[in-house]
A and B are shown apart, each in its own frame.
Chain A
């Protein structure tokens, strides 16, 4: 565990400048006066802001079977460079997270790398095929925090219903990306003028709202708590808000891509815009923004770095996904400031709410708690390119964009995971 002092740092929720002494990985003292402890690393943080660590509910790092590869460790570094201290690790990996030994291997191997705390999400069904429910009890005991379908399309609602019943009987938390198999097959661009112009099969919002409607009826019947991840359409938002208003135990997140982008940006078949779910229309984006503060519980990074060889292909043959860990908070901070939204609300949506939803201890920024935070320079301007990030590849609709603000330092569970101070 690390010992150091941060000088003249701002706290996101308090006025003034502070000096923070971290001793053995814990916040020992927060003071407006400087410390005179000798022989301890001191970092000047004038103009920088300290925020609680990001809990990313949807960001892909790599495969359990690749934990010794440079890709896995690299994406752990990239997450840390984005201020992520905790992350849900979804089961659409090789191998799938549907066997206890995979969970044990993942947890053991993740600990060997510097990076965020990794929380495995067990597969609701074996190999996410919707044929057989998984051994949720054994997987939970092995260390799965919750259970989900990653973003694998739902192909059998009967099996899903049984999986939810089973999860409910074990009092497990479920996270689902609502994506219908038939309505999403081969469709990676929003259905609309853009898809027609480009001659690409459009992904209708029905691919999201059909499973949402069905699963909400399952929730009504079972009273099971479900978090819906990566909601993208206006209709989907309305369906969820209506269900929440009725008091159903529902929470949901939107990804940064659907919050900040719409399909008008897709030019020249740019495969960096090939994402799951697709970037939707201006109207969909406007609805997400309108409902963001009151209804959207969480914002996810949806990081999924793809090697270039899988992106330099015709649009439909390219692999969906975008690199986003390292621009996630910068883009959101800029967006919240531009729209005059309260930054506390941003922290709720990337840090506090995820911890509440998934029952993870929230250390806060208090004395005598474990250090789990990041430091942000709001004035740092940079270009989102491969030379300026830790990530091994940059495939993103934000690629080459000028970015305002940068994470400078991250400490996760008392261990420094990124330091550019």
Chain B
């Protein structure tokens, strides 16, 4: 079987609108199903899936594991701390060894941008690759989870106003979200943050840039808060969490500027009192836990697509 964009899921850049919608529709069928259809399970049953998380993860890793289990695939969780990687084995040698164990799919999380692309280049053509987040590059499955979440609340995308607030520069999620929401037809996508974590050049990706949160979230239907990722900051880009919250934290007072049908999302983990106030995170506007629930269905749809083309 020739390797093509359907057997890898590295970045949303390889998906067009039709393919994104198709995944969302599949996810919806899965989410609504009381029992998963025989055909879906049959095609994935006993397939060997490696969860290769070279970086810590809770939600993504767990939802992938549940998704794969629901599909009756065999899941092996790769433990980096006990692996040959910790003894100095190269990434590609590790992958080659796992490939030799007749893997069907690798789900990869890695701290380096481009790691999933690199692994895909050095993996036999019959093994699918799913990128579960690489450095600051891409997190395609999370972007589709978020698109699914929006689709569950709104009938169409085209009239929506959507704002992403936070550390865009270091966010793999934001890059994939921008791509997906652009393709789904949202014409008003706004990015909000200071220049140090939101370079002006992002304007070239079909979004508008806002330095003032009150202006940026005015009349929006969707706000996606991003975590302030301390571990990704190579230098001091912000003076303090306290100042960030004062300038950009999502509070009850601020969401009054938004549309009445507002939903608030966050890919997690959240930092209460930094990017979002608890009163908002736990409010009726919040879709944060819904995103986690939807994550299983969306990832089942993606695994099925990768394993079966």
Contacts and interface: CB of A to CB of B under 8 A. Distances in A.
A binds B: yes
Interface of A: 185-186, 192-193, 196-201, 268-269, 309, 312-317
Contact of A314 (B115, B169, B172, B205): B115
Interface in B108-143: 110, 112-115, 117-118, 121-122, 134-138
B204 to A, nearest CB: 5
Interface of B: 90-92, 110, 112-115, 117-118, 121-122, 134-138, 169, 172, 175, 199, 201-202, 204-205, 234
A312 B122 CA distance: 9
Given A186-B234, A199-B138, A313 B91 contact: yes
A316 B113 contact: yes
Contacts of B122: 312
A199 B111 CA distance: 11
Please list the 7 inter-chain residue pairs (A to B) with the smallest Cβ-Cβ separation, ordered nearest first. A269-B114, A199-B136, A199-B137, A314-B112, A199-B113, A315-B114, A314-B115
A309 B122 CA distance: 13
A268 B175 contact: no
Contact of B137 (A192, A198, A313, A317): A198
A361 B111 CA distance: 52
Contact of B118 (A196, A197, A198, A313): A313
B25 to A, nearest CB: 28
B113 A196 contact: no
A193 B91 contact: no
B175 A315 contact: no
A312 B92 contact: yes
Nearest to A187: B234
A199 B172 contact: yes
Nearest to B170: A199
Given A199-B136, A201-B234, A309-B90, A314 B113 contact: yes
B201 A193 contact: yes
Given A199-B172, A200-B136, A315 B199 contact: no
Contacts of A316: 112-113, 135
Contacts of A268: 114, 117, 121
B178 to A, nearest CB: 10
Contacts of A201: 234
Contacts of A198: 113-114, 137
B110 A314 contact: yes
B202 A269 contact: no
Contacts of B199: 196
B180 to A, nearest CB: 14
A199 B135 contact: yes
14 contacts: A193-B204, A196-B205, A197-B175, A199-B134, A199-B136, A199-B137, A199-B175, A200-B114, A200-B136, A269-B114, A312-B122, A313-B118, A314-B118, A317-B112
A79 B202 CA distance: 42
Nearest to B139: A199
A197 B13 CA distance: 10
A312 B118 contact: yes
Nearest to A269: B114
Nearest to A268: B117
Given A192-B201, A193-B201, A269-B117, A312 B172 contact: no
Of the candidates A192, A315, A317, the one having the most CB atoms from chain B within 10 angstroms of its own CB is A315
A314 B234 contact: no
Contact of B112 (A192, A312, A315): A315
Given A199-B172, A312-B122, 15 more contacts: A186-B234, A193-B201, A193-B204, A196-B202, A199-B113, A199-B138, A201-B234, A268-B114, A269-B117, A312-B92, A313-B90, A314-B115, A314-B135, A316-B112, A316-B113
Nearest to A315: B114
A314 B119 CA distance: 9
B302 to A, nearest CB: 20
A315 B122 CA distance: 15
Residue of B117, B172, B202 with most chain A CB atoms under a 10 A cut-off: B117
A201 to B, nearest CB: 7
A313 B110 CA distance: 12
Nearest to B202: A196
A312 B118 CA distance: 8
Nearest to B110: A314
Contacts of B136: 199-200
A314 B204 contact: no
A155 to B, nearest CB: 15
Contacts of B201: 192-193, 196
A265 to B, nearest CB: 16
A200 B113 contact: yes
B134 to A, nearest CB: 8
Contacts of B110: 314
B280 to A, nearest CB: 28
Contacts of B202: 196
Nearest to A200: B113
A13 B65 CA distance: 71
A317 B134 CA distance: 14
Contacts of B172: 199
Nearest to B120: A268
A113 B202 CA distance: 52
B113 A269 contact: yes
A314 B199 CA distance: 24
Contacts of B117: 268-269
Contact of A315 (B91, B92, B113, B169): B113
Contacts of A317: 112
A316 B136 CA distance: 12
Nearest to B134: A199
